[in-house]
DNA sequence: GCTTCTCTTCAGGTATTCTTCAGGTTCTCA
DNA sequence: TGAGAACCTGAAGAATACCTGAAGAGAAGC
């Protein structure tokens, strides 16, 4: 678990770092906004603790920049107590949580842990249709809790169907995307593979997610069958 | 999700490829413009990442060629930082987005994802007449909530009638559009199919949406009957 | 080098869909 | 009112599309 602290008060940064390291985290510190930004881009942190008042670019700017770049690492913002900076503003710029200075160390750790838990379930852009899920990053397919083994070709086919779940896709499109435009073989290959898929993702579960659209192609039921 | 990277700096191409594969994409790389062009024609990619500075033909040329060939695959162009090449120029030649080098990997992935979402085929409009709907993307017909199974020919016929809902269309036009100008058979086929349609979309619902216009052809009631 | 897995082709079987045809019904107009 | 045209419909064979098991080639793993 790696944490980045962006905080210009050196002794505070040092104290927090020591404490968090004692808790078992790996900690990097940055004393300016630009340095922090740079580090955040370099490394995939699990949480960033970001002070608002910083020399150079302030915390809001750092946060907004990261979000604009598509970086959704959980950010915990530190606001001055009765601060001129509003908590709402912190959340608006894309922070996930905030903490008013001065804060108790225990609370800080608790908040960081919470963010980590939350951040865990965040991104993975999983393709879903009902209880049928497919995670391209993990290269894994599930029907509910059951993991289903698919060959590369089957995986690609299901991925394509899932991408257009609920819509019908033509056999031509399927061949173009799954086999490539240059495929010269028997188009019957699609039927064969749809058969394989049904045998793996439908039949054992008494479902019927891959529907035949006669004369057109196939359609994956949006609700997974 | 298949991505093509056209980039001549081998180590950059390799790094990006590794990263994208970890995200679950299938990645092909081409080190020259001509190779890239060739691959783009072979396979229906979901996104192409295209460097501008390439040996052989440059990125603009590759992009322009693809567009000229009617290939509208989403293209993300990589431009040199304060480059001589303008971003506007990239967009002009038909790129969908651009990114200045050097770029953060996270940003690259975010942009690619955005392009994929955007590049999702736009759904043709759903045809409606009263409670009778026909969704070309889904390739499905409904009367209210009830799904009605239509054969390809029936579907095509209803689609045509729906497009001119409220107007009468001649049998000649119907044959021309649904069967093709080259149809040589018995024009009675239209009557037969209108019969099939009525049996499916009207009779079970006590409706009468497909009206006969004697001496002319047919008219689908604009309110669905 | 051998086994196992994956991909692809092929061919037979089945079910659906298309088309034609013939006879019946309805409508129009003289 | 009756003749003719236009339309409707059921039946049936032809054509097409789809499914599936089998088997060989090739790749990957041991």
pLDDT (0 to 100) of residue B6: 95
At how many degrees (to 10) do helices A188-197 and A152-163 cross? 90
- Measure B167 CA to D8 C1' (Å): 22
- What's the pLDDT tens digit per position in A158-213? 999 999 999 999 999 999 999 998 898 999 999 999 999 999 999 999 999 999 99
Q: Which helix (H) or strand (E) holds A163?
A: helix A152-163
| Residue B166 predicted with pLDDT over 80 | yes
Q: What single-letter DSSP state applies at residue A72? A: -
Average pLDDT of chain B is 88
What gap in Å lies between CA B124 and CA B162, rounded to an integer? 14
Cα–Cα distance list, A13 to A27, A55, A82, B212 (Å): 10, 14, 21, 83
pLDDT (0 to 100) of residue B104: 61
Query: Dihedral through CA B61, CA B66, CA B70, CA B75, nearest 10?
Result: -110
pLDDT band at B86 (very low <50, low <70, confident <90, very high): low
Mutate to test the interface with A, among B106, B119, B135 (most CBs of A within 10 A): B106
- What's the pLDDT tens digit per position in B23-73? 788 999 999 999 999 999 989 999 999 998 888 778 889 999 999 998 889
* Structure tokens that stand for B118 in this block: 């955007």
* Structure tokens that stand for A175 in this block: 């061949």
Q: Which helix (H) or strand (E) holds B50?
A: strand B47-51
pTM for the full predicted model: 0.75
Q: Which of A177, A181, A214 is the closest to B151 by Cβ?
A: A214
- More confident site: B221 or A91: B221
| Residue B132 predicted with pLDDT over 80 | yes
Among A115-119, A145-149, B111-115, which range has the highest average pLDDT? A145-149
Number of neighbouring beta carbons within 10 Å of residue A81: 8
Q: Which nucleotide is nearest to B152 (CA to C1')?
A: C17
pLDDT (0 to 100) of residue A40: 87
Is A168's CB within 8 Å of B106's CB? no
Cβ of residue A211 lies below 7 Å from strand D: no
What gap in Å lies between CA B25 and CA B159, rounded to an integer? 37
| Residues B33 and B78 sit within 8 Å (Cβ to Cβ) | no
Sign of CA pseudo-dihedral A134, A138, A140, A146: negative
* Structure tokens that stand for B215 in this block: 């001496």
pLDDT (0 to 100) of residue A69: 67
- What's the pLDDT tens digit per position in A88-146? 555 555 567 777 777 888 888 888 887 777 655 445 457 889 999 998 878 899 999 99
Cβ-based neighbours of A18, under 8 Å, separated by 6 or more:
none
Closest of B157, B144, B165, B147 to residue B198, by C-alpha: B157
């Amino acid at each position: 678990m790696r944490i980045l602290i962006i905080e210009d008060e050196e002794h505070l940064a040092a104290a927090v770092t020591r404490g968090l390291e004692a808790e078992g985290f790996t900690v990097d510190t940055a004393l300016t906004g630009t340095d922090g930004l740079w580090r955040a881009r370099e490394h995939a942190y699990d949480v960033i603790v970001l002070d608002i008042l910083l020399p150079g670019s302030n915390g809001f700017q750092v946060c907004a920049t990261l979000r604009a770049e598509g970086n959704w690492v959980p950010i915990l913002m530190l606001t001055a107590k009765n601060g001129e900076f509003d908590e709402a503003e912190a959340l608006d710029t894309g922070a996930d949580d905030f903490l008013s200075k001065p804060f108790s160390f225990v609370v800080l750790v608790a908040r960081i842990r919470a963010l980590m838990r939350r951040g865990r379930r965040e991104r993975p852009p999983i393709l879903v249709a009902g209880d049928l899920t497919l995670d391209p990053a993990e290269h894994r397919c599930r029907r509910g809790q059951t993991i289903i083994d698919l060959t590369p070709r089957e995986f690609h086919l299901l991925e394509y169907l899932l991408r257009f779940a609920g819509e019908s896709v033509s056999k031509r499109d399927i061949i173009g995307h799954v086999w490539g435009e240059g495929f010269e073989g028997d188009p019957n290959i699609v039927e064969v593979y749809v058969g394989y898929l049904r045998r793996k993702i439908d039949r054992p579960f008494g479902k019927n997610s891959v529907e035949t659209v006669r004369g057109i192609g196939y359609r994956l039921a949006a609700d997974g069958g």
